[in-house]
Amino acid sequence: MDLILFLVFAGIAVVAAINVVVQRHPISSAVSLIAVMGSLAVLYLLLGAEFIAAAQVIVYAGAVMVLFVFVIMLLNAGGETKAGRSFVASLLGVPVLVALLVALLALLAFFSARLYPRDTEVHFGGFRGGTAQAVGRALFTTYLLPFEITSILILIAIVGAIVLARKELE
Amino acid sequence: MMGHVPLSWFLMLSAVLFSLGVAGFIFRRNIITMFMSIELILNAVNLTFITFAYQRHDVSGHLFAFFVMVVAAAEAAVGLAIILTVFKNRGTLNIDDLDSMKN
Amino acid sequence: MDSFIVISLIKIFVVFGALMTILAYLQWVERKVIAHIQVRPGPYRVGPHGLLQPLADVIKLITKEDLVPPYVNKALYLAAPFLAITMALLSVSVIPFGPKIQVAGYATWMQLTDLNFGVLFILGVSSMGVYGIALAGWSSNNKYALLGGLRSSAQMISYELPLSLAIAAPLLISNTLSLRKLVDTQDGWMWNWNLFHGFQYVSFIVFIIAGFAETNRVPFDLPEAENELVAGFHTEYSSMKFASFFMAEYANMITVSCMATLLFLGGWVAPWPAAYGSGYVPVAIFAIAGVTTVWRGLNPRRKRDRFTFPPFGVVFVIVAAVFLVPRLQSALLPLFWFCAKTGAILFLFIWIRGTLPRFRYDQLMGFAWKVLFPVAMLNLLATGLVIAAFS
């Protein structure tokens, strides 16, 4: 059951990721990226990270991507034109990418078989420490300093975004 | 047993998503699509963090992923504001046309 | 494992069927209540008191020509209403309607599924509901639809912040994210409800206001009002897709009302324990309603009341008798209290629609960021301080 879930949602994630890179109009890439984030949220649930899965959907897929979709709709710049590509790049691009990926996956499979002879089996419920209580406890005790610094970071981002995007005062 | 998934498969999925993100960043010329490829890279890294948190039974991996998400959100806000300003001033979203500092 | 799947499937069918019927009749209730606020009768021709009006509307919407304009972005145009209605209905899957009950020998909760992070699930699903509207506005290839869609999405994400902060305050009191345990912590008498703890009425008010804005209801419905921007984001939609958007709006309204009930009003818990006779309240209400209806049917004000009122009166008295059966009481009483509280908040939604004018868009956004968000943040801060001081 976990295997089927993983294969289905990993498949959706990979197909949608390819779609992000391949589509001409940015709005189709944005919708595919939302699909990637949704399927990653399901994979996080499989790995026992329930708070991070909820945060992924609320923050990443539900706020950051809405921002992307807004900017794409407001700018309305249209799809990318196909002019100015070098012939060698369009011929060699995809095969070289596939070859590099296969080499990377083979390396990973080889090394994980050697370093971890008993590869950890992931099943739903194998890790129960990802609840909101556990994350909150760690966030406010061990990681309190990064938490406070990120709050200042967010303030800087808000001020920066407003200053950059406002109309010029006369 | 039939139902379980080896942990290395999650790492392989993360590697595939990372490479696709890098490929999108290198091959595409539209600024917004390049930015979305960066978000894809950050998501792949998040998956790696959560995977190792499962293996080590440590919730710190989730905390790292949480901070990556926060920083990505802040970066998206500022980056998109910059893109809006660039479009207002140059009228193009093609990164090859933004070369006024070249030579 | 097998019985779990079968029971879950049965529960899904029951909840889905009940929800669809309630959605249709909620529209009837809204039209009747707004009509009576405006001193006119509302729908009264189709069936007694217009009760078959939703059926007539469904038939009309299904048989209307389903026109897909040729200039739209087909994939997004077809996906947007599907996304809207899916996300709206998905929230209902974690809402508890009552406690554990015994049905035909199997013990089961009156809830489709209980998640450890149920509140976060509902927040996440409502964040995804924004896409239905934004993509509908974009794919229609129509500047009025685009503007309406963008305004509506911006409004929804702006009011998500005060909504989340207003939800966080009673969560600090109940100390759990699971909706079932949230109701369990408010068990007992009426003063155990989260609404009556200190100044949680501030959280309640912020939650209700933000809930109005999240569901695009008056006074925050500028992006989709009929006399503004043509018709907003659903200008280019017809028949069943248009109906999906409306069903999604009513389903969102029901979700916000259920969340208000669970978070603040104690869910399916009666105002005073059943040992002191709260089990007789629904009996009393339905019996009085039944007797009054039958009496009005026998001394009618309008001629047709002689034929329509007595059957309703008899039905009400039968329902009152059903509430007296001890075997059904454990399931029916919590359901009655949950529906009564949720219905009260839904009535509030409809009441305000009939009463208040709508906000201008800049007033709306200014209110969210300059008033509601600071109030919600200060409320959360104060709640946290009080809880830390008293524990």
Which residues sit opposite C109 in a β-bridge?
Answer: C100
Query: C44 φ, ψ to 5°?
Result: -140, 5
Q: What is the pLDDT of residues C324-355, one digit of tens each?
A: 888 888 888 899 999 999 999 999 999 999 89
Report residue A32's pLDDT band, with 50, 70 and 90 as the boundaries: very high
Task: Report pLDDT for C48.
Answer: 79
Q: Which CATH class is domain B29-93?
A: mainly alpha
Is C365 a residue whose pLDDT tops 70?
Answer: yes
Q: Is A120's CB within 8 Å of B6's CB?
A: yes
For residues A103-114, average pLDDT: 78
Residue C55 falls within a domain, yes or no? yes
Average the pLDDT over A82-90 and give the result.
64
Percent of chain C with pLDDT over 90: 44
| Domain stop point among C31, C61, C91 | C61
Fold of A2-130: Four Helix Bundle (Hemerythrin (Met), subunit A) (1.20.120)
Residue C36 pLDDT: 92
The answer to whether the bond into C81 is cis (omega within 30° of 0) is no
Same domain, C145 and C165: yes
**pLDDT at residue A152 above 90?**
yes
Q: State the virtual CA torsion across C62, C67, C72, C75 in degrees, nearest 10.
A: 50
Shared-domain flag, residues C227 and C113: yes
User: Residue C350 domain-assigned?
Assistant: no
Q: What is the mean pLDDT of residues C221-243?
A: 72
Would the pLDDT of C229 be above 90? Answer: no
What residue numbers bound the domain in which C110 lies? 64-270+369-389
pLDDT band per the 50, 70, 90 thresholds, residue A169: low
What pLDDT is recorded for position A91?
73
Give yes or no for A35 touching C (CB within 8 A): no
Q: Which residues of A touch C137 (CB under 8 A)?
A: 73
**pLDDT band per the 50, 70, 90 thresholds, residue C62:** confident
* CB-based contact B39:B68 (threshold 8 Å): no
Q: How many residues are listed for chain B in this entry?
A: 103
Name which of A2, A36, A49 is nearest B40 (Cβ-Cβ).
Answer: A36
> Are C35 and C76 within one domain?
no
Return residues 115-144 of A near C (CB < 8 Å): 131-132
Nearest CA to C293 among C272, C314, C277?
C314
**What does the pLDDT read at residue A84?**
55
Average pLDDT over chain C reads: 88
Q: Where would I find the beta strands (DSSP E) of chain C?
A: 98-103, 106-110
Residues C12 and C51 in one domain: yes
Percent of chain C at pLDDT exceeding 70: 98
Confidence (pLDDT) at A111? 76
pTM, rounded to two decimals: 0.92
Mark yes or no for CB contact B57/A127 under 8 Å: yes
Q: What is the ipTM of this complex?
A: 0.92
A 47-86 residues with CB < 8 A to C: 50-51, 54-55, 57-58, 61-63, 66, 69-70, 73-74
pLDDT given for residue B1 in this prediction: 47
Nearest alpha carbon to residue B40 among B24, B26, B52: B24
pLDDT score recorded for residue A168: 66
Cα(C57)–Cα(C23) distance, integer angstroms: 12
By C-alpha distance, which of C210, C198, C213 is closest to C166?
Answer: C210
- The tokens for C149 are 């869609």
Q: Does residue C311 belong to any structural domain of this protein? A: no
Are C44 and C86 in a shared domain? no
Q: Is residue C76 part of a domain?
A: yes
C360 secondary structure, DSSP code: P
C251 with C378, same domain: the answer is: yes
Residue B90 in contact with partner chain A when CB distance is under 8 A: no
Look at residue C381 and tell me if it is in a domain: yes
Instruction: Note whether A132 contacts C177, CB cutoff 8 Å.
Output: yes
Q: Confidence class of residue C230 from pLDDT cuts 50, 70 and 90?
A: low
Residues 19..78 of B with a Cβ closer than 8 Å to A: which?
19-21, 23-24, 27-30, 32-33, 35-37, 39-40, 43, 46-47, 50-51, 53-55, 57-60, 62-63, 65-67, 69-78
Which of these three, C11, C28, C61, is where a domain ends?
C61
Number of domains in chain C: 2
Residue B81 exposure: Cα atoms within 13 Å on the Cβ side: 16
Q: Please check whether residue B97 touches A, CB under 8 A.
A: no
User: How is residue C316 written in tokens?
Assistant: 């009400």
Q: Are C219 and C359 in contact (CB under 8 A)?
A: yes
Rounded Cα distance, B83 and B34, in Å: 11
Output the DSSP codes for C187-249: -SSGGGSGGGSTTHHHHHHHHHHHHHHHTT-TTS-GGG-TTSSTTGGGTT--HHHHHHHHHHH
- Is A79 a residue whose pLDDT tops 80? no
Domain locations along chain B: 29-93
Q: Report d(CA A56, CA A79) in Å as an integer.
A: 28
Reply yes or no on whether the pLDDT at C58 is more than 90. Answer: no
Query: Domain end: C35, C61, C87, which one?
Result: C61
Task: Give the mean pLDDT of C40-63.
Answer: 86
Number of Cβ within 10 Å of residue A155's Cβ equals 11
**pLDDT averaged per 10 residues, chain B (length 103):** 78 92 89 94 96 91 95 94 89 82 74
